[in-house]
Amino acid sequence: MAPDNVSILEIGVGAGAFRALVSRRCRYLGADLSPLDPETLPLDLDLDPLPPGTVDVVVMLGVLEYLRAPYQALRKACASGRRALFSYCCLKAGADRARIVRKRRERRWINDWTRDELIANAERAGWRLAREEPFNEEDDFYQAIFMAEPSADK
């Protein structure tokens, strides 16, 4: 989902697993709320603007669940990237919502979108879903990696 020789802004570098996969074949810039090394920019996605300029791919893996303003994060990414790659652990509809939300809070996830809500919010932020790859599933969530492109009316 991240081709060679593209510019990448990864928000939420964490321990650097994605960086290790792409940094030798792409122009890579990483940002995180708690940078683990000097190469990573400090960034609070809920509060801070993204670095200036445009990149080919904005990557947010395992980030949106922890944000107070995930829709605004998707908007920021759309203004900065020609493509987005993000994951989300979607709330499963139809189950005991109180139990599921309690499990999400135990994981420190602070928002609760279903898959349909995620896609609707991404589209409202200016993205068009181009690809979805299921990644993980538990009794309380469905996780996928989504690739999105700017919608025609961006």
pLDDT, tens digit, 9 for 90 and up, residues 38-85: 999 999 999 999 999 999 999 999 999 999 999 999 999 999 999 999
Calculate ∠ Cα 45-99-106, nearest 5°. Answer: 40
Q: Which residue range is the domain that position 119 belongs to?
A: 7-150
- The kind and range of the H/E element at 123 are helix 115-124
Task: Residue count of the chain, please give it.
Answer: 154
pLDDT score, position 153: 62
Identify whether 67 is part of a domain: yes
- How many structural domains is the chain composed of? 1
57 falls within a domain = yes
In a domain, 45, yes or no: yes
2 belongs to a structural domain: no
**What CATH number does the domain containing 34 carry?**
3.40.50.150
| Bridge partner list, 27 | 7
Cβ pair 78, 127 in contact under 8 A: yes
Token pair, residue 38, equals: 């000097």
Strand partners, 140: none
Residue 1 in any domain: the answer is no
In a domain, 14, yes or no: yes
89-119 per-position pLDDT tens digit? 999 877 688 889 899 999 999 999 999 999 9
